[in-house]
Amino acid sequence: MITIYHNPRCRKSREGLALLEESGEKFEIVKYLEEPINEKELNTIISKLGIKPIDLIRTNESIWKSEYKGKKLTDQQTIKAMVKYPKLIERPIVVNNNKAVIGRPKELILDII
C-alpha cells in the first residue's frame, strides 16, 4: 500500500497528492499535522528514505531557527524534534512498501509507484 504523508497547506504536498491521484494507484493519506507520526514510525520512514534525520528537517521553519539552529543534535534528538514539532518534517513523503521518497520534485514519486 502506498502512503503519502501530506500537509494540505503545502503546495508541493498538494502537487504530490495530485500526481498520486492521477496515477490510478490505491493509496492512503496521512495528514501528519493532525495525526502525528511517532518515533518508531519516523525511524522506519527515515530508514526507507535512506537519509540522515537532519535531511528530513525543514531548516527554514521558524521553530527550527528559534529552538535548534546551531545546536549539535544526535539523530535521535533530531527525530524527537520532528515528533514534537511535525511542521519541521519535509513534505510530502511517499512510502510504497520498503521504498520511500520526499516528493520534491513531485516526479520523484513516480520512481516508487
In 3-state terms the chain splits into helix, strand, coil percentages (rounded to 5) of 45, 15, 35
Point out the residues that are catalytic: 10
| Strands of the 93-96 sheet, one edge to the other | 27-30, 2-5, 93-96, 99-102
Contacts with 112 (C-beta within 8 Å, 6 or more apart), sequence order: 2, 94, 95, 96, 99, 100, 101
65 burial level (CB within 10 Å; 0-12, 13-18, 19+) = exposed
Task: Retrieve residue 2's grid coordinates.
Answer: 502506498
